[in-house]
Amino acid sequence: MDSLEFALVAKVLVVEARRRGLTVPGFRCPPRIVGVDRSLRRVGDHVTVAVRVKGRPLVAVIADMIEGVVVANRLVPPAADRLRRELWLAVSSAKLDFVPPSVHDFTVVSDRGNAA
């Protein structure tokens, strides 16, 4: 995943969080803490999710970004589980060319709008 891809996934997650009236975190990479894959920082009402991208599978990076939204909003099951599923659906249906269909169990929509 490169920085443009990271930004595109972040944009999808921000739009979805805002649409649901949730706390909208900022995203950055890499985390300031050496040796961690994901960190979350709260300063007042603002939350920043930092994710390590380099040397990690795409699905792991996206999962950490989604989990960052869940943690930023302090959600617990079943609301946390619902949000994870909805965010995976949003990312997978955003027609991001770099997201392989094998990273999720949801229907992939082709460029022509037909289910693949």
Residue 2 pLDDT grade (very low, low, confident, very high; cuts 50, 70, 90): confident
Q: What CA–CA distance (Å, rounded) separates 49 from 104?
A: 22
Hey, which bits of 44-78 come out as E strands? 46-51
Cα separation, 97 vs 100, in Å, equals 8
- Closest C-alpha among 88, 25, 29 to residue 56: 29
| Domain residue extents for the chain | 3-103
Strand, helix or coil for residue 46: strand
Q: Which two tokens stand for residue 51?
A: 């994710």
- Quote the pLDDT of residue 94: 81
Distance separating alpha carbons of residues 85 and 26, to the nearest angstrom:
20
pTM for this prediction: 0.79
Reported as a single tens digit per residue, the pLDDT across 77-96 is: 999 999 999 999 999 988 66
Query: For 34-80, what is each residue's pLDDT tens digit?
Result: 999 999 999 998 999 999 999 999 999 999 999 999 999 999 999 99
Q: Six-digit token pair at 52?
A: 């390590």
Confidence of residue 98 (pLDDT cuts 50, 70, 90): low
Hey, what are 72's tokens?
């930023």
Task: Determine the pLDDT at residue 19.
Answer: 96
What percentage of residues in the chain have a pLDDT greater than 70? 81
